Structure 1
Amino acid sequence: MKLILTQPVSGLGTAGDVVEVKDGYARNFLLPRKVAMPWTKGGQKQVDAITRGREKRAVKTAEEASTAKARLQDAEITVSARAGQGGRLFGAVTPAEIADAIVAAGGPQVDKRKIEVPTPIRTVGDHPVQVRLHDDVSADVTVTVVAS
């Protein structure tokens, strides 16, 4: 089935890409989550609009992304969350909270969808996170979670 991605999907593509996937994957995963839409003849206009929007939000060049990467890796990112006995959090730390903490630490403005958390952050301590700044540039960052 031919689809247009409306959001980035790990391992498949970014917003605005036209991809060919199996029918079941499209029907059961991509379409219900609204991360893709069926490709139509008029869909090319939508692809162009998505691409223009992505270009406005993205870091424009690889040089800017590399300087942002250097600033991001030097910053100490700390997230405060409610925790119970033994350092276990009530809930989990979300990518939106991490994005806010990056800005508060003096880092660049990062879209929450560009933050990849390998495992849910549910305990106090240091956790590795990857931030995609550009197609070719990504920063590995350590997020420190403290109890509030």
Structure 2
Amino acid sequence: MKIVLLERVENLGTIGDVVDVKPGFARNYLLPTEKALRATKANMIRFEAEREYLEAKNAEAAEKARTEGADLDGKSYVVIRQAGETGILYGSVTSRDIADLIGGNVKRSMVALEQPIKELGLSDVRIKLHPEVSVTVTINVARTEDEAERQAKGEDVIKTQMDEDREQAGEDAKERAELAKEMFDDEGEAIFAEESQDAAEDKPEEKDE
């Protein structure tokens, strides 16, 4: 289906471009959201008559988005979630969660998240405030506020935890080995003492001449 774009659409074109798209994409998204018109002769005449107005309206909206984006770009947001020892979340962080977290005029459809976040750590997420304006925010997913602070400083909390667990396991093994050695030494001394006593008892008495 041929359409004429009323605003810039990512991977398609900008205002006034006539492009060929799949009918379903046009009917289900582009046309109902007023991002495009069918490229009929009547609609092309209508578009050309309104083109100057549409371009001015788009420029105004883009400038507003740039102003809002200046405060948003580069910000970091903390999300607290439960997760296992390997850092995999019990659940996920979705585009809706991120939109709710940021608030303001940011809607779910503006969050360019290819798939939900499913593990601890920092994720850079693009927010499309306008077809021509995008900003990037950092989503810091952690189990606690303390972990979030450490991650923000560049620490890999899962690696740290694994290193600590490995060190603790080594210390525990060392303690068990020392305890086993002490028990063995004590048992050995006891056996030696018992054998010495038995030997002394079995030794024949010397007779006086």
Q: TM-score, normalised by structure 1?
A: 0.59
**Mean Cα deviation higher: 120-129 or 134-143:** 134-143
SS at match of 1:85: coil
Q: Aligned partners of 2:85, 2:16: CA distance in 1, in Å?
A: 46
1:111 aligned to 92, 107, 114, which one?
107
Aligned residues, how many?
130
Q: Aligned partners of 1:18, 1:91: CA distance in 2, in Å?
A: 42
Return the offset for 1:9: 6.3
Contact 2:95 2:113 survives alignment (8 Å): yes
SS at match of 2:130: coil
Larger radius of gyration: 2
What amino acid does structure 2 have at the position aligned with 1:99?
A
Partner of 1:73: 73
Change (3 A) 1:19 1:61: closer
Segments of 5+ residues of structure 1 without an aligned counterpart are none
Change (3 A) 1:18 1:70: closer
Return the offset for 1:113: 1.0
Higher relative contact order (CA 8 A, sep 6+): 1
Partner of 2:61: 60
SS at match of 1:96: helix
Contact 2:9 2:131 survives alignment (8 Å): no
Return the offset for 1:118: 4.6
SS at match of 1:131: strand
Partner of 1:144: 140
Q: What's the % identity of the aligned pairs?
A: 29
Q: After superposition, give the CA deviation of every residue in 1:18-43 in whole Å (9 maximum; x if it has no partner).
A: 85336xxx26x6379x33569486x9
Partner of 2:127: 131
Change (3 A) 1:60 1:9: closer
What amino acid does structure 2 have at the position aligned with 1:115?
V
Structure with higher helix content = 2
What are the within-5 Å matches in structure 2 for residues 1-148 of structure 1? 1-3=1-3, 10-12=10-12, 20-21=19-20, 26=22, 30=25, 34-36=28-30, 39=38, 60-62=61-63, 64-73=64-73, 75-103=75-103, 108-118=104-114, 120-147=116-143
Contact 1:2 1:18 survives alignment (8 Å): no
**Mean Cα deviation higher: 69-78 or 119-128:** 69-78
SS at match of 2:122: strand
Q: Aligned partners of 2:9, 2:38: CA distance in 1, in Å?
A: 16
What amino acid does structure 2 have at the position aligned with 1:112?
R
Q: After superposition, give the CA deviation of every residue in 1:33-80 in whole Å (9 maximum; x if it has no partner).
A: x33569486x95xx99xxx9xx7xxx8351x32332222135431223
Change (3 A) 1:35 1:144: same
